[in-house]
Amino acid sequence: MSALPTRTDYRVFYPITTRWSDNDLYGHVNNVVYYSYFDSAANRYLIEEGGLDIQSGEIVGFVVNSGCEYHAPIAYPERIEAGLRVEKLGNSSVRYGIAIFKAGREEAVAHGHFVHVFVERAANRSVTIPGRLREALQAIVIVD
């Protein structure tokens, strides 16, 4: 990967609507808001492609680790997109790579990672990633 990630480093893209409340006192999207963008992109993929039922499914994904590097500011009302990929697919966990792009731009304004461990909701214990979810995640694995 280059110094700044580009769109070619990611497999799936989702538009994100920035909100007025995303801006901080400095006039740009606050650093903590990027984590909500990461969370939204990963979970949208799991719901739409993997069939994850976040309301009543037996299996849920818990975030156990995340990180972000910031390269350039964004601000409301800019149009942005989240790029998503899988960097590591384990037995019960997945590490996503996620980047935020200004619409139409090739280089990321921020990039980071997000780790889910899949657990059985009732027992609150890790479980093997179910078939449909695993297939969806496998489809966006990046091999460096």
Which tens digits make up the pLDDT trace of 53-100? 999 999 999 999 999 999 999 999 999 999 999 999 999 999 999 999
Taking the model in full, what pTM does it have? 0.94
DSSP 122: T
Terminal Cα distance for the chain, rounded: 8
Looking at the DSSP bridge assignments, the partners of residue 70 are 110
The CATH homologous superfamily for domain 7-138 is Hotdog Thioesterase (3.10.129.10)
Question: Domain coordinates of the chain in residue numbers?
Answer: 7-138
Residues 6 or more apart whose Cβ sits within 8 Å of residue 80? 15, 16, 18, 37, 74, 100, 101, 102, 103, 109
